[in-house]
Amino acid sequence: MAMTREEFEQKIGTVLRAHGAGVTADLTDELLAYWNGHAVAYVLICAEPPDACYEEFSMDDAQWANWRSWLEAWIEAPTFSVRPEVHNWLSEEPPAEPGE
């Protein structure tokens, strides 16, 4: 049975919370995920370093259908990076409420 987006986000969210701030799940060469303190957040890499830029990415059901095979494969062989820029992304988010 195919994995649902909710199942995937639950699994990846658990792993990212355990790894801590600054860690991204390198889902594909161009798609990253990180834990923003509330939920899994996604970004697309627009350019290669040193000129790297990132765009927020919304994983809705239509996007999930397009990316599902890649993301299910990632679950089987996950890769992560430590990215200092994630701390900047997190500083732009409102703080999490206790219990969230």
pLDDT value at position 83? 82
Residue 97 located in a structural domain: no
Overall number of domains in the chain: 1
pLDDT value at position 37? 86
Residue 12 located in a structural domain: yes
Residue 96 CB neighbour total at 10 angstroms: 11
Residue 75 located in a structural domain: yes
Query: With a threshold of 0.85, does the pTM exceed it?
Result: no
* CA–CA dist 82, 26 (Å, integer): 10
Residue 100 located in a structural domain: no
Domain housing 65: 5-91
pLDDT value at position 1? 61
Residue 98 located in a structural domain: no
Residue 33 located in a structural domain: yes
**Amino acid symbol at 46:** C
pLDDT digit string (tens) for the chain, length 100 residues: 688 999 999 999 999 999 988 899 999 988 999 998 889 999 998 866 666 788 889 999 999 999 999 999 999 999 999 887 887 777 765 545 545 4
